[in-house]
């Protein structure tokens, strides 16, 4: 059985983002400010992709799957941080937006894909793990159609 770690991450995240948009569109949706907000102080502009909220939510789900342990908001801020361009001064690392990570995790929690572990962070539920595994299987089947030599790994 194929799991979420055995398929290309970019294809999996794109497929999960589409599923989140279609199946969980009532609970997982960008707030009104999401189209104008930057994803961190290290960014100069807001994201150009109109579906970036769903892509980030799918990425967070994959990170939780990969970790296997609870992850908190500060860890996600570090994961999605980057180097801030300070002109002629040396660049420094800056954390990403905590509000974006918090709101996405709250929405995923409301959808039943994530559960809060007191004093530790959030982790995937069985429904969240199942969503990622089923999507990974679909992505793998699409990849096998593109590259038939991968059929032996089914």
Strand residue runs (E) in the chain: 82-86, 89-94, 114-117, 121-124
What domain range is 32 assigned to? 9-124
- Whether residue 58 lies inside any domain: the answer is yes
Residue 140 belongs to some domain of the structure: no
Q: Is residue 147 part of a domain?
A: no
Q: Under DSSP, is residue 80 helix (H, G, I), strand (E, B) or coil?
A: coil
User: Quick one: tokens of 55?
Assistant: 């892509």
Q: Tens digit of pLDDT for each residue in 61-70?
A: 999 999 989 9
CA dihedral of 130, 56, 78, 81, whole degrees rounded to 10: 160
* Residue 97 included in any domain: yes
64, 123 contact by CB (below 8 A): yes
Q: What is the pLDDT of residues 69-107, one digit of tens each?
A: 999 999 999 999 999 999 999 999 999 999 999 999 999
Secondary structure class of 13 (helix, strand, coil): helix
* CATH number of the domain within which 19 lies: 1.10.10.10
Rounded distance between C-alpha atoms, residue 72 and residue 93, angstroms: 19
Q: Is the pLDDT of residue 154 over 80?
A: no
Average per-residue pLDDT for the chain? 94
Percent of the chain predicted with pLDDT > 90? 89
Q: Considering the domain boundaries, does residue 88 fall inside one?
A: yes
What pLDDT, in 10s, does the model give residues 21-46?
999 989 999 999 999 999 999 999 99
What is the model's pTM? 0.93
Give the contacts of 27 (CB within 8 A, at least 6 positions apart): 107, 110, 111
Residue 129 covered by a domain: no
Within-domain flag for 151: no
Whether 29 maps to a domain, the answer reads yes
Structurally, the chain folds into a number of domains equal to 1
């Amino acid at each position: 059985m194929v799991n979420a770690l055995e398929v290309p991450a970019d294809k999996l995240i794109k497929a999960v983002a589409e599923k989140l948009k279609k199946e969980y569109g009532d609970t997982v949706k960008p707030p009104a400010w999401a189209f104008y907000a930057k994803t961190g102080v290290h960014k100069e502009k807001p994201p150009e992709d109109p579906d970036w909220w769903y892509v980030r939510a799918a990425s967070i789900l994959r990170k939780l799957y990969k970790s296997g342990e609870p992850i908190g908001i500060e860890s996600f801020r570090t994961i999605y941080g980057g180097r801030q361009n300070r002109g002629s001064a040396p660049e420094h690392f800056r954390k990403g937006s905590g509000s974006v990570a918090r709101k996405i995790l709250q929405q995923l929690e409301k959808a039943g894909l994530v559960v809060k572990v007191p004093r530790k962070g959030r982790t995937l539920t069985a429904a969240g793990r199942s969503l990622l595994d089923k999507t990974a299987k679909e992505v793998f089947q699409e990849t096998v159609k593109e590259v038939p030599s991968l059929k032996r790994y089914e």
